């Protein structure tokens, strides 16, 4: 893998910001839902002004109805006062909360993490031998088994990165099939998000032996048939790429064309 200077793009983790915004809008929605429910219940219960006498809100009257008076006693109703002032206070708190959260968001404060947005390119390397198709797996010194890939350097195209990384990690000269291109995204650690683009590639010399002459990051290489390769690959994301590559190879008769 190249140790040259890499170009990074930084993004801000929005999980905290998104949760706060979600809670604010849900709270506002619940308040309006409560208001509509109250009026809806009163309508279904028949609590209309035309059905109640004028003394309905007088406690000494036989016609006194507390629920009706709570909801429909005009601007003097305790319900209206409570609802009005609660809504005003809640609206002010929401505005202040959004301002505070946005200040943190803009200044990248305590509640946000600056993530490194990385980009890598590689390929599913395959060959045809003795009427069988083999896929190249890389056993890394970190302990996992994966497909060939590496970081993109500044100014490189995706194809150039894939070819360079294949050469650096395997010392193979390959023919790249750019019609097949699959993207995966994962988080290698808490401070990074990585996009990886995979192509299909086959060695120009089918007898060439892969070896890492660049930085010795690869411990060993192994050509495996499809089912064995699926079993040995460590990560599901790489395994899914291999499945798509195998399907593409069969669908476009690339295996038959090699025989």
Per-residue pLDDT reduced to its tens digit, 31-63: 767 766 666 665 555 545 455 666 767 767 777
Q: What is the spatial distance between Cα 196 and Cα 149, in angstroms, rounded to a whole number?
A: 8
Q: Which residue's entry shows tokens 């809670």? A: 23
Q: Which pLDDT band, with edges at 50, 70 and 90, does 2 fall under?
A: very low
pLDDT tens-digit readout, 166-184: 999 999 999 999 999 999 9
pLDDT at residue 212, as a whole number:
86
Q: What is the pLDDT of residue 33?
A: 72
CB 240 within 8 A of CB 184: yes
Number of Cβ within 10 Å of residue 196's Cβ equals: 23
Measured distance CA(157)–CA(169) in Å, rounded: 18
Task: Report how far residue 50's alpha carbon sits from residue 161's, in angstroms, rounded to the nearest whole number.
Answer: 79
Q: Using 50, 70 and 90 to split pLDDT, how confident is the model at 8?
A: very low
Contact 183, 197 (CB under 8 A): yes
- Reduced to 3 states (helix: H, G, I; strand: E, B; else coil), residue 67 is helix
Mean pLDDT value of segment 141-159: 92
Question: Does residue 21 surpass a pLDDT of 80?
Answer: no
Parallel, antiparallel, or unpaired: how do β-strands 114-129 and 9-12 relate?
antiparallel
| CA–CA distance, 224 with 243 (Å, rounded to integer) | 14
| Digit-coded pLDDT (tens) for 84-136 | 666 777 777 777 777 766 666 666 544 455 677 889 999 999 998 888 999 99
- Asked if 148 contacts 123 with a C-beta cutoff of 8 angstroms, the reply is yes
**188-211 average pLDDT score:** 89
CA distance 246 to 81: 69
* pLDDT tens per residue across span 214-255: 777 899 999 999 999 999 999 999 999 999 999 999 998 876
Question: Across all residues in the chain, what is the average pLDDT?
Answer: 78
Q: What is the pLDDT of residue 205?
A: 93
Which pLDDT does position 68 carry in this prediction?
65
Residue 3 has pLDDT above 50, yes or no: no
pLDDT given at position 259: 47
Give the range among 16-25, 155-164, 199-208, 220-229 with minimum mean pLDDT: 16-25
């Amino acid at each position: 893998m190249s140790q040259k200077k890499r170009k990074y793009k930084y993004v801000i983790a929005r999980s905290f910001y998104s949760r706060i915004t979600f809670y604010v809008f849900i709270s506002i929605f619940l308040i309006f839902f409560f208001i509509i429910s109250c009026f809806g219940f009163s309508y279904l219960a028949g609590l209309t002004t035309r059905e109640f006498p004028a003394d309905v809100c007088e406690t000494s009257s036989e016609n006194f109805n507390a629920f009706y008076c709570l909801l429909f006693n005009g601007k003097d109703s305790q319900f209206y006062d409570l609802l009005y002032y609660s809504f005003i206070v809640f609206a002010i708190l929401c505005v202040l909360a959004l301002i505070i959260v946005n200040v943190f968001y803009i200044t990248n404060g305590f509640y946000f993490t600056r993530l490194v947005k990385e980009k890598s390119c590689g390929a599913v390397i395959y060959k045809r031998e003795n009427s069988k198709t083999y896929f190249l797996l890389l056993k890394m010194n970190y302990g996992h088994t994966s497909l060939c890939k590496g970081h993109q350097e500044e100014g490189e195209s995706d194809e150039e990165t894939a070819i360079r990384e294949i050469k650096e990690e395997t010392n193979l000269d390959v023919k790249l099939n750019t019609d097949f291109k699959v993207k995966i995204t994962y988080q290698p650690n808490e401070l990074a998000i990585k996009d990886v683009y995979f192509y299909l590639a086959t060695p120009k010399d089918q007898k060439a032996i892969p070896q890492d002459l660049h930085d010795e990051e690869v411990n060993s290489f192994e050509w495996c048939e499809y089912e064995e390769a699926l079993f040995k690959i460590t990560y599901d994301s790489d395994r899914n790429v291999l499945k798509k590559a195998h399907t593409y190879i069969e669908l476009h008769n690339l295996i038959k064309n090699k025989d």
